[in-house]
């Protein structure tokens, strides 16, 4: 397992950090985002999607569980928010395993709620609040 950290000094730094994360994705298609409520998971995913060429509005799929966007090459990007799940079975019911196996980028908020369903080959991005606008972003593969 390798790990690296990036200090986020303000919201203005997000595009540069998103570019670094985009470059770190490599062949990973399942990207998990952990962090306390309000740490900025959805905000960071919005900026990451912009860096991948997504033109449409990126928003939290809190109630729909999954949103689909298109990147600059018109490939799907799936954005999940499993915060409201009561058990992993609910993720299975929406076809989460098929999404994860699709080879397309899957961005997952609150992955700990479905830990047993996640593939072993994934990136974990943890956002830690360090100040009013500052965060520490850790990438583990």
Which domains are delineated in the chain?
A: 3-140 (3.40.50.300)
Mean confidence (pLDDT) of the chain:
95
CA neighbours within 13 Å on the CB side: how many for 136? Answer: 9
Which run of H or E residues covers position 135? strand 135-140
Instruction: Report the percentage of the chain scoring pLDDT > 90.
Output: 90
Q: How far apart are CA 93 and CA 139, in angstroms?
A: 29
Q: How far apart are CA 13 and CA 19, in angstroms?
A: 10
Collapsing DSSP states into helix, strand and coil, what is residue 18?
Answer: helix
Task: Return the CA Rg of the chain.
Answer: 14
- Res. 62: pLDDT tops 90: no
Geometric angle at alpha carbon 37, from 115 and 114, rounded to 5°: 10
Q: What does the DSSP 8-state code read for residue 39?
A: S
Q: What is the mean pLDDT of residues 9-29?
A: 94
């Amino acid at each position: 397992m390798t790990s690296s950290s990036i200090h986020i000094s303000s919201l203005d730094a997000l595009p540069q950090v998103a570019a670094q994360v985009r470059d770190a994705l490599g062949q990973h298609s399942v990207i998990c985002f952990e962090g306390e409520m309000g740490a900025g998971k959805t905000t960071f995913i919005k900026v990451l999607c912009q860096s991948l060429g997504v033109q449409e509005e990126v928003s939290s799929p809190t109630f729909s569980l999954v949103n689909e966007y298109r990147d600059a090459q018109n490939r799907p990007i799936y954005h999940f928010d499993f915060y409201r799940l009561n058990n992993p079975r609910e993720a299975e019911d929406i076809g989460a395993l098929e999404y994860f196996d699709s080879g397309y980028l899957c961005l997952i908020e609150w992955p700990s709620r479905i830990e047993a369903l996640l593939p072993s080959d994934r990136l974990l991005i943890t956002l830690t609040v360090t100040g009013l606008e500052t965060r520490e972003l850790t990438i583990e593969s």
